[in-house]
């Protein structure tokens, strides 16, 4: 695939992520923070997010698997996940966390288990999409092309 | 002020005569950033660096106090005859601004704020609180305790630029007003106690967060021009005089 095609594909793909609500404006903020002195900033933050989230999801799975669920602890983990997803602009993960927290407050075990599934699903979706996007970017750079600026005229 | 003496001894820029209370040679604001989240620390660090600040990022209120030299454990050891310079690894460059997360395990940002404001050596360092929860009562409590500003997360470049702009301006104005001590008092003199009607008009950072429910409006706020750097930032109108 030649560079021009890859660039167009990247633009369309990125736009769709915003249109479908996977990413929000905060992700654009992160992209603005990347420059020649910090060319890998977005990749680095996103990687930290992946590591952090996977640990939190494991902790959540264990916490909800206990005979006596400690909802305070569960809520604390969800709060952290909500925070980090919000900071990188992973909007659907963040929203799933918000719903999750309200069920933690109710101490509703069935609902919280469903929420956990929902959060996991959203997380793996956005992870997949971000990895795809970053991969295409890498390919463009490797082929000597530049990363197109995304104009979002909403 | 003995601690600042220790800090001056440690500094990499060469002011050796004890109490150097001015900003560093390059006039870069040195910010101590406190957040337990690794992702958030990375982002705030970058936001600050891109705004031409020196940054020291720590993961807890306790570490922040250690860095400032306010940690009680160390203080106890010092009064028991331990060499303070033994602990000088904990202390670093003079801090011009503290920016801290509110919700942290152990010591909250609010508790850190109180400790800083209770300290005679450090109470004049402006403290900014960050929180994902946009709760008026929380904001009020922090401002009453002497917080300089309150940012609703996620933190944006415009938020950081605004804060650094007026911190820099205040530091510079103070210097003009003759000498380091006058500069310190200058920061407090600028705070005004304003009426409650200003609470109805939310500051820019709060407003954009509460409207970012749909993709279109979020992206609009990202592409809008960043708030002008002005001394008259709306949040400042909410501030009260520090209780002295």
Run of H or E including B129: strand B127-131
pLDDT band of A149, cuts 50, 70, 90: confident
Minimum distance, in Å, between the CA of residue A2 and any CA atom of chain B: 30
A contacts of B40 (beta carbons < 8 Å): 83-84, 87
Search chain B and give the residue with CA nearest A151.
B223
Q: Say if CB B33 and CB B44 are below 8 A apart.
A: yes
Answer whether residue A153 is part of any domain. no
CA proximity to B94, closest of B1, B190, B189: B1
SS3 (DSSP) at A152? coil
Please give the tally of structural domains in chain A: 1
- Strand duo B53-58 + B97-101: pairing: unpaired
Query: Would you call B224 an interface residue with chain A, using a CB distance cutoff of 8 Å?
Result: no
Q: Inspect the interface and report whether the beta carbons of A19 and B215 lie closer than 8 Å.
A: yes
Answer whether residue B138 is part of any domain. yes
For position B44, which CATH number holds? Answer: 3.40.50.2300
ipTM of this predicted complex? 0.93
Per-residue pLDDT of chain B (244 residues), as tens digits, is 444 444 433 333 344 444 444 444 457 899 999 999 999 999 999 999 999 999 999 999 999 999 998 876 656 655 666 555 544 455 567 899 999 999 999 999 999 999 999 999 899 999 999 999 999 999 999 999 999 999 999 999 999 999 999 888 888 887 777 566 766 666 666 654 444 444 444 444 443 333 434 444 334 334 444 444 444 444 544 444 444 3
A contacts of B53 (beta carbons < 8 Å): none
Alpha helices in chain B (DSSP H): 2-10, 38-50, 61-68, 72-79, 109-118, 136-144, 157-176, 180-189, 204-210, 215-223
For position A31, which CATH number holds? Answer: 1.20.120.160
Q: Bridge-partner residues for B100, per DSSP?
A: B34, B129
* Residue scoring higher pLDDT (A107 or B212): A107
What is the structure's pLDDT at B122? 93
**Poorest-pLDDT segment among A50-59, A85-94, B38-47, B224-233:** B224-233
Query: Would you call A73 an interface residue with chain B, using a CB distance cutoff of 8 Å?
Result: no
Residue B58, token pair as written in the block: 């720590």
pLDDT band of A81, cuts 50, 70, 90: very high
Answer whether residue A151 is part of any domain. no
Answer whether residue B197 is part of any domain. no
pLDDT at residue A29 greater than cutoff 70: yes
Facing A29 at nearest CB: one of B103, B215, B222: B222
Q: Is B146 left (phi over 0), alpha (psi -120 to 50) or beta?
A: left
Answer whether residue B129 is part of any domain. yes
Using CA atoms, how far apart are residues A55 and B95, in angstroms rounded to an integer?
Answer: 33
Q: Is A44 left (phi over 0), alpha (psi -120 to 50) or beta?
A: alpha
DSSP per position, B30-62: EEEEE-S-HHHHHHHHHHHHHTTEEEEEESSHH
If one counts every other C-beta atom within 10 angstroms of the C-beta of residue A87, the result is 28
The rounded mean pLDDT for chain A is 94
Answer whether residue A154 is part of any domain. no
Answer whether residue B221 is part of any domain. no
Please give the tally of structural domains in chain B: 1
Minimum distance, in Å, between the CA of residue B217 and any CA atom of chain A: 8
Minimum distance, in Å, between the CA of residue A21 and any CA atom of chain B: 6
What is the structure's pLDDT at B28? 86
A contacts of B38 (beta carbons < 8 Å): 48, 52
What is the structure's pLDDT at B173? 81
Domain extent at residue B137: 30-77+86-185
Domain extent at residue A108: 2-143
Query: Would you call A87 an interface residue with chain B, using a CB distance cutoff of 8 Å?
Result: yes
Answer whether residue B22 is part of any domain. no
């Amino acid at each position: 695939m030649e560079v021009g095609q890859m660039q167009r594909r990247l633009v369309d793909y990125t736009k769709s992520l915003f249109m479908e609500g996977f990413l929000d404006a905060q992700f654009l903020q992160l992209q603005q923070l990347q420059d020649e002195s910090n060319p890998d900033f977005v990749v680095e933050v996103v990687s930290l997010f992946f590591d952090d989230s996977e640990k939190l999801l494991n902790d959540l799975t264990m916490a909800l698997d206990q005979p006596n669920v400690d909802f305070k602890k569960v809520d604390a983990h969800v709060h952290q996940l909500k925070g980090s997803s919000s900071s990188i602009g992973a909007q659907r993960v963040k929203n799933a966390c918000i719903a999750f927290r309200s069920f933690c407050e109710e101490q509703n075990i069935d609902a919280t288990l469903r929420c956990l599934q929902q959060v996991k699903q959203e997380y793996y979706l956005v992870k997949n999409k971000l990895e795809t996007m970053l991969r295409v970017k890498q390919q463009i750079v490797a082929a000597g092309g530049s990363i197109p600026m995304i104009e979002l005229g909403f | 002020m003995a601690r600042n003496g220790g800090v001056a001894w440690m500094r990499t820029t060469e002011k050796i005569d004890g109490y150097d209370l001015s900003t560093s040679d390059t006039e870069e604001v040195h910010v101590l950033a406190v957040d337990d989240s690794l992702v958030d620390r990375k982002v705030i660090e970058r936001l600050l660096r891109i705004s031409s600040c020196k940054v020291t990022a720590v993961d807890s209120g306790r570490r922040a106090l250690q860095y400032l030299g306010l940690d009680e454990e160390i203080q106890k050891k010092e009064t028991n005859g331990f060499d303070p310079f033994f602990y000088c690894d904990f202390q670093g460059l003079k801090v011009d601004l503290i920016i801290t997360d509110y919700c942290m395990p152990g010591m909250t940002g609010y508790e850190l704020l109180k400790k800083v404001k209770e300290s005679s050596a450090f109470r004049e360092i402006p403290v900014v609180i960050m929180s994902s929860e946009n709760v008026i009562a929380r904001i009020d409590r922090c401002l009453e305790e002497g917080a300089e500003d309150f940012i609703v997360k996620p933190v944006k470049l415009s938020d950081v630029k605004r804060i650094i702009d007026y911190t820099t301006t205040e530091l510079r104005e103070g210097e003009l007003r003759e000498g380091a001590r006058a500069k310190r008092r200058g920061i407090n003199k600028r705070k005004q106690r304003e009426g409650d009607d200003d609470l109805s008009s939310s500051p820019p950072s709060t407003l954009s967060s509460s409207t970012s429910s749909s993709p279109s409006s979020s992206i609009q706020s990202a592409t809008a021009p960043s708030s002008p750097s002005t001394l008259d930032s709306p949040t400042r109108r909410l501030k009260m005089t520090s209780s002295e």
